[in-house]
A and B are shown apart, each in its own frame.
Chain A
């Protein structure tokens, strides 16, 4: 585990389809300055910068950390760039935390971003030729068969995905940074949208967003303001193709959860974790991850969703912020989950605050559901 580490600042940009008013540098700097302001610090107080984002093809800038170092006060400091596919926002937070936990630095700025309007994400995700056969279907086309297999195994009724889409978007109405804020969102509205990749409808899918998120991490003796203490961190990866790999409930996800629960002393996640920010880019991933993360027994996840347990006023709220379904600047999406978990235990989540949240889970996944990053943060010292 190493030394104690806490989140002492969180900064986010408003997530939207296009941020025409800022450059990439302007975008990341906006989030970074807000995180520093939250921590009551300036760039001068930061020892190292860790940058994360998904593939460079998304913006067409190779290794953008070189160019972004200036905007993030990185000159004269160590700057690192993390890339672990969709889980990258979470991994970036963990690399930043590692610098503090390993006793290397006292205060670290972690920034993750994506400015997807600079390119076409589905194209950038589908260009594997000539190395692999490409279905040119983007992420939804890849994950839809996994979802259908989940439905077959669990016997979940067809409307569960719709319920998640409505719930997360209702939560997003309470989050001023959320991209999709759809007044009057309802089951009928979701069900009236086109089927993109059976069984995923248009409004059961995450948007393509521009945005950045930043956090400031500090060692125990450098804490300012209100800390969210890190109680556990874990990463797990598995190959995209291996005999016996279960794409519906990947072992890397289960192992990663088990590791982070062990560190945080959590034995019953549904009872002990007050709020979870979980990477749900397609609505059906809520019931799937409820099972993968041990909040429900196998085949039972959809029942929690249907009973309203994961709603903002439920007994185990998931994605109070509106989640990835409401805002998806891919490289930042994982860090937003981690940051929102921290905001909850700091009691600073505004209108979407879960009352009395003391322990929160941040989760991210990526690749072909093969890369996982998680942390558990709490209002008290571990």
Chain B
């Protein structure tokens, strides 16, 4: 595989409420920021991730293109998925060898909708969606399946929110306490908060990456896998697709300093830690993670960006990023980022 690295990352100061900014207005500053950071004005490829249902109107990505400055016309594509999957498409496109840079962005304003309700609409429309099983309810099924330990979950939320308060981009949320069940065994603070935000990443290949930054965050492995959709066809206490994607991305080939995991619910952290074989020593979600800021459709891309940031600033040598899609961790993407490409065959 061709060497490809994250060379720049920017994200909005995420908010828990609608600030009145339209999606292109959320995007403009972060796209400007990565353009400034790299000095690049044009990219070999551009790819984005978003979801029309968040806005309740078709073609969210069409108006977002206005923020990119796609004139003269650009080579561009879009996935109706988290921006992390757009990053995967861009990484694949860079493997061809004819272009050297790519811009990736993701955005979402969940303040405008009831995310818990609209996530129901992604279920099988004939057999599952009519049951009215909403996102928190099916997550609660998974929390039951994993038999999560309450003090451990509380500690995950406490740690995530404390880290989030130290992250200028994340929400300012208090330590969890005294809340009744949302859907047993999940309490409101076990659920990622409603968040508006956007993020952008620049990828570059080979020497171009070295020119653009002193210490590129090399993507030494990236892979994703899907599982059956039906919750009854999976062992919800495990994430087989994360484990498979992690193996394909080579997570176990070296020590992991830090992992940014797309945990929309606190009980997902132990499931993902186990799937990726991360020991208790590995720092998980030092940014606060999705439990401290969850701009849907950008959250997974932010995990890649946050992991890369720790390589770019030299605070980590090897980091893992994870993104998810579908109900109860149905589809999972895993990327390994490293400060140095040790194996030249990569």
> Considering only CB atoms, which chain B residue lies closest to A131 in the complex?
B57
Q: Are B123's CB and A236's CB within 8 A?
A: no
A-B contact count (CB 8 A): 198
Say yes or no: is A218 at the interface (Cβ < 8 Å to chain B). no
Which residues of chain A from 14 to 41 have any CB-CB distance to chain B below 8 Å in the complex? 23-25
> In angstroms, how far is the closest chain B Cβ from the Cβ of A267?
20
Question: Bound complex: CA of A85 vs CA of B327, how far in Å?
Answer: 25
Q: Are B96's CB and A77's CB within 8 A?
A: no
Answer whether A78 and B223 are a contact pair too, CB < 8 Å, given A60-B121, A63-B325: yes
Q: Chain B: how many interface residues by the 8 Å CB criterion?
A: 66
Q: Are B59's CB and A85's CB within 8 A?
A: yes
Q: Are A80's CB and B85's CB within 8 A?
A: yes
Contact pick for B122, options A61, A83, A234, CB 8 Å: A61
Question: Bound complex: CA of A93 vs CA of B21, how far in Å?
Answer: 35
Contact pick for A69, options B53, B68, B80, B331, CB 8 Å: B331
Interface size on A, as a range, is 35 or more
Stretch of A121-129, A183-191, A344-352 at the chain-chain interface: A121-129
Stretch of A98-106, A166-174, A297-305 at the chain-chain interface: A98-106
Question: Bound complex: CA of A77 vs CA of B65, how far in Å?
Answer: 30
Contact with B along A313-334 (1 / 0, CB 8 A): 0000000000000000000000
Q: Are A128's CB and B125's CB within 8 A?
A: no
> Considering only CB atoms, which chain B residue lies closest to A368 in the complex?
B62
Contact pick for A76, options B51, B226, B325, CB 8 Å: B226
> In angstroms, how far is the closest chain B Cβ from the Cβ of A229?
16
Answer whether A69 and B96 are a contact pair too, CB < 8 Å, given A64-B122, A81-B81, A84-B78: no
Interface centre among B121, B124, B126, B226 (most CB of A within 10 A): B226
Contacts of B62 in A (CB 8 A): 85, 240, 367-368, 370
Q: Are B72's CB and A255's CB within 8 A?
A: yes
Question: Bound complex: CA of A76 vs CA of B247, how far in Å?
Answer: 13
Q: Are B225's CB and A70's CB within 8 A?
A: no
Listed A/B pairs (28) with beta-carbon separation below 8 Å: A57-B52, A60-B125, A61-B129, A64-B122, A65-B81, A69-B227, A70-B233, A75-B226, A75-B228, A76-B227, A78-B224, A79-B331, A80-B79, A80-B88, A81-B81, A83-B80, A85-B59, A101-B95, A127-B58, A131-B63, A234-B75, A235-B75, A237-B76, A238-B74, A240-B65, A241-B66, A255-B72, A367-B59
Question: Which residues of chain A have a CB within 8 Å of any CB of chain B?
Answer: 1-2, 23-25, 49, 54-57, 59-70, 74-85, 91, 94-95, 98-99, 101-104, 124-125, 127-128, 131-132, 234-242, 245, 250-252, 255-256, 259, 367-368, 370-371
